[in-house]
Amino acid sequence: MMTEAYVLDKNRLGDLVEVLKVRGEVIAPTNTGIDILYMPVSSVSEIDLSKIPLDSPKEYVFPITETMMEVEGGEITPVLESWDRVLFGLRPCDVAAFRCMLRFFEDYADEKIPDPYFIEKMKKLTVVAYNCPEPKEHCFCAAMGTGPVAESGFDLALSDLGGYYLVEVGSVKGEEILGGLPLPKASQKDISEKEAVARRCSEKMKPGFAVQGIEDVIEQSIDAVAENHGGRCIVCGGCNFFCPTCTCYNVTDTIEGELVRRERYWDSCMLQGFTWLAGMGPERATLASRMKQRLMHKLSYTKEHYDAYSCTGCGRCSQVCPSYIFMEDMIRDILGGV
C-alpha cells in the first residue's frame, strides 16, 4: 500500500528528527556505550541504527508496569497515561508485532470493547520504521513474512541505501510529516536498490524454512517438539516478557496510605503459576505442555482467529533464553525439515 517514496541524504537525517520532534517525544535506539536501548532522544547524534538491539520497544505501548486506576475515599479514578510519541527506527518485525498487539487489544467478542490503555497509546504513536540491511543471528522475519522490509503499519519507513535513505510514506500522517520537509522523489532505481538490499538481508538469515501453512501440520509434531525443546526451559519468562507480540499481564492492588492503586504488569504463560483452572488436571504443570500452548498460540490459534501469526521472527526469545531454546529451531522441527 505504498503511496510515495522519497530520498533523504544521510547527513540530513537530523532535519527529519527535528520535524518528528514536533509530533511528540522521540524514542529511538541509543548507544549507551554498553548496549543499544530504546530511549527518548533529543537530537540525531544520540541515534544509533547500526545494530539491531535486543531491547524491546514494546514497553512504550504496553508498559512493564502500568497504573490502571486509583481508589481513594470511595472514588475510583481511571488513570490512562498516554502522550504523543514517535518511535523512530522500529524494525519491521516490531512494526508487524505492534499490529498484532493492536488487533488483539481492539478485539472483544462481538462488541469491540477495545483496551483503552493500549489503544490510546497506539493512537498517539507515530511509527518511523527502519528496514534492516543486516540480520542478527536469530532473525527469521523473512520466513515469517514480516520482514526485512515493513510493508504496512508505519507512517514513514527508512531504508539504508548507502549514502542516502529511501523514505517511504505509509500513511496520511507520514505524508503530512514530509510536508514540513520537502524531499526529492525516489526513482525506480532507488526502489530496486531497496529491494536488492532486502534480498541480500533475507539470504543472510539462517532459518531455511517458510512458515506458511504451519497451522495445517503443527498438530502432528507439536507434542514431540514441545517435549524436546521445552524440556530445557528454566521458567524465566523472558521469551514472553521481551516478545513484541506477547501481551499477557497480571493485576495487583497496592495500598499507599489512604490510596489504593491497581496496576497491571508483564506476565508470562511459561511460568508455572500463570494458569490455574480447576479441574483441568495437571496438564499445564509440565514444561512441555506450557511450551505447546505457547507455540500453538503463536503459530496456530492466532492465525485462525486473526489470520496472522503472532510471531514476527524478531529472534528476541531465542536471544534471551538461558537454556538456548531457539524459536527458529522449534518452527523448523514442526515443519519437519532442516
Residue numbers 77-106 binding other proteins by CB under 8 A: 78, 80, 104-105
Q: How far is the CB of 256 from other proteins (least distance, A)?
A: 6
Partnered with residue 86 across adjacent β-strands are: 26, 126
Among 108, 137, 184, 216, binds other proteins (CB under 8 A): 108
Helix/strand/coil for 309 = coil
Helix/strand/coil for 265 = strand
Instruction: Decide if residue 293 touches other proteins (CB under 8 A).
Output: yes
Residue 255 CB coordination number (10 Å): 9
Using CA atoms, how far apart are residues 307 and 288, in angstroms rounded to an integer?
A: 26
Q: Return contacts of 247-255, CB within 8 angstroms, 24+ apart.
A: 247/62, 247/101, 247/104, 247/105, 247/118, 248/274, 251/68
Instruction: Decide if residue 181 touches other proteins (CB under 8 A).
Output: no
Q: How far is the CB of 293 from other proteins (least distance, A)?
A: 8
Could you give phi then psi for residue 8, rounded to 5 degrees? Answer: -130, 120
Q: How far is the CB of 321 from other proteins (least distance, A)?
A: 7
C-alpha cell at 267: 506476565
- Taking contact as CB under 8 A, which single stretch among the options 145-153, 161-169, 176-184, 279-287 is the one that binds other proteins? 279-287
Contact 240, 246 (CB under 8 A): yes
Q: How far is the CB of 60 from other proteins (least distance, A)?
A: 9
Q: How far is the CB of 108 from other proteins (least distance, A)?
A: 6
Among 245, 300, 310, 312, binds other proteins (CB under 8 A): 300
Residue placing its CB nearer to other proteins in the complex, 194 or 229: 229
Nearest Cα neighbor of 244 from 310, 176, 166, 178 is 310
Using CA atoms, how far apart are residues 215 and 279, in angstroms rounded to an integer?
A: 28
- Taking contact as CB under 8 A, which single stretch among the options 168-176, 182-190, 199-207, 277-285 is the one that binds other proteins? 277-285
Residue placing its CB nearer to other proteins in the complex, 191 or 269: 269
Site string for other proteins, 157-176 (x = CB under 8 A): --------------------
Q: Computed from CA positions of residues 275, 320, 35, 196, in that sequence, does the dihedral angle turn out positive or negative?
A: negative
C-alpha cell at 137: 543471528
- Taking contact as CB under 8 A, which single stretch among the options 164-172, 189-197, 270-278, 326-334 is the one that binds other proteins? 270-278
Dihedral over alpha carbons 25, 251, 300, 52 (to 10 degrees):
30
Q: How far is the CB of 176 from other proteins (least distance, A)?
A: 23
Instruction: Decide if residue 56 touches other proteins (CB under 8 A).
Output: yes
The answer for residues whose C-beta is within 8 angstroms of residue 191's C-beta and 6 or more apart is 5, 166
Site for other proteins in 206-265 (CB under 8 A): 231-232, 234-238, 241-242, 247-256, 260, 262, 264-265
- Taking contact as CB under 8 A, which single stretch among the options 8-16, 70-78, 142-150, 186-194 is the one that binds other proteins? 70-78
Using CA atoms, how far apart are residues 147 and 116, in angstroms rounded to an integer?
A: 29
Instruction: Decide if residue 338 touches other proteins (CB under 8 A).
Output: no
Q: How far is the CB of 174 from other proteins (least distance, A)?
A: 24
Partnered with residue 66 across adjacent β-strands are: 264
Instruction: Decide if residue 271 touches other proteins (CB under 8 A).
Output: yes
Helix/strand/coil for 102 = helix
Number of residues that bind other proteins (CB under 8 A): 85
